Every structure is written in C-alpha cells, then in structure tokens.
A and B are shown apart, each in its own frame.
Chain A
C-alpha cells in the first residue's frame, strides 16, 4: 500500500479552497452568527428597558394627576404602584409644590407659642403688620 492519501484525492483536495482559508471563512460565519444571537437579546433588553422606562414615566405622570386631584403623595404613589420616595423625587425635579400653607402666618404664630419662641412671636407680629395694606 502507498503511503498517505491516493493521488487523485490529494489532487482533488488541492483543487478546493485551502484548509486554512476555509477555516477562517467558517469562523467568520460562526462569529457573525454568534454576534447576531448576542445582539438579539441586547436589542430585546433595550426595548424592554425603554418600555419599562416609558411605563414608569407614565406612572409618574399619573401620580402627579392623582395628587392634583386631591390625593396625598403617599396615596398617589400607591395607586400607580411606585415607591413614594421615587414620586417625591419626581415632584422635586418637576417643581411640583407638595407643601403649601395658606395660613402659614397663623400656623407659625401657633408654633411660636407651642415651642415658646418669643423672637418668632415678634417676627410673626411684624410680618402681619407689614403685610396689612397701608391706607393711601
């Protein structure tokens, strides 16, 4: 028996793409397939993240609407299913007033007595006086 492969086979093999080149081409195809497989979940993940961010934004807007319609911040946050601290931070970013007191002066006068702060009592009296419209 002759050594190695028969001549015809050896010739046929030589006629096809050289082994090294073929391997490189296969590797590139495989690599492309791997990349494709990898990119698909990344794209799905990005889409899912975008969807989740969009839903969060909608929920935050809903919370603002609920608050403006008479709920407390806590109630509004619970109704839209978000943590109250996250809704609070949204109010802060969007400059939505959470605390107002139309009777701030009388509240402060009461607190001045409660906490026995005479300088605050005097300050409130002074502000009251300054805010009273003066006769022209």
Chain B
C-alpha cells in the first residue's frame, strides 16, 4: 500500500529553508533527514532561486524541490515583512521568516549562517551540522554520515569539517 505523504512530519516543528542548504543537502544526499527533523518552509524568493534556470530546464535538485512542494511535504511561506536587509533576496526572506516566527534556519552559507546565530540569536543548521544531528538522533549510521560529509567536503571549511567528523565519530 502506498501511503500519501503527510505534511507536519518533521519531528522538531517548522524550519526555514534556504537555497544554499537545499543545494548542499542535495549534494550530500541528506534531504530526507532535513525533512525528518523539520516541516520545511521556503519563502518565494528561495523557490525562485532554486528554479532560476530558464524554463523548461530543471536541474535535478530543482525537480526534487518542485515535486516535494507539489505533494505538500515542503511549503512556500513568506515572512509578513522583510526585516533583514543584508545579502540576497532569498537570504533576507529566510532570515526575516526565522526571526519573525523564531524558527530554526537551515543555511549552508557561512555569512548568513553566522548572522543568524550571532545577530539574530536563531538556531542555524548547516548541512555538516545536520549530518551530526541525524547520527545522534540515531537515524543515520556513522559510516554513511562520514561518506555524505565527504561529498560536501570541497565546500566545507577545515574547522567545521574537523569538528563534524569528530562529533560523528564520537557517537557510541
């Protein structure tokens, strides 16, 4: 029997999704874990950014995004007001939505990620951090998490890479 997808499947409530996170999580093969942690909400600006190829072209990650939106597993939610005026339109919308609703922000770009943590006081999750969380939630085997981390190794800084590797390896 095929069960219809249910919205609200994220165990830790809603989270704001940025395109930088979507790209990197797709590259790592970790999107399923993001969906298990959170009901993902992406602002329209992020949707536009993910679908920025001229139609009818769709990169695989855009096709996945659109398919999940169509099933309701991923929702388009805009902030009532843009209150952050830094970076690109997608970054601004995600940071404003996170601030407005006090939702965690899923970002994989160092500057908006740092801004979210240090200036807005939000919980910010990057893809290496998501992999650590998924291992310690007991969902993702250590070996697979390390292999996924390697896939995004080229775009991950040395410090984060080392700490994420240690944190994954420490899981009993």
Residues of A within 8 A of B (CB): 70-75, 77-78, 83-85, 88, 91-105, 107-108, 110-112, 114-115, 117, 119-120, 122-124, 126-127, 130
Contacts and interface: CB of A to CB of B under 8 A. Distances in A.
Secondary structure type dominating chain B contacts: helix
Contact of B133 (A70, A75, A85, A111): A111
Interface of A is mostly: helix
Interface string B62-89: 1000000000000000000000000111
B20 A102 contact: no
Interface of B: 12, 19-20, 23-24, 27, 37, 49-50, 52-53, 59, 61-62, 87-91, 104, 108-114, 117, 123-129, 132-133, 136-137, 152, 154-160, 163-164, 166-167, 170-172
20 contacts: A71-B87, A72-B91, A72-B109, A74-B90, A83-B52, A84-B20, A88-B155, A96-B155, A97-B157, A98-B156, A99-B160, A100-B160, A101-B126, A101-B159, A107-B117, A111-B125, A115-B37, A115-B137, A123-B166, A130-B166
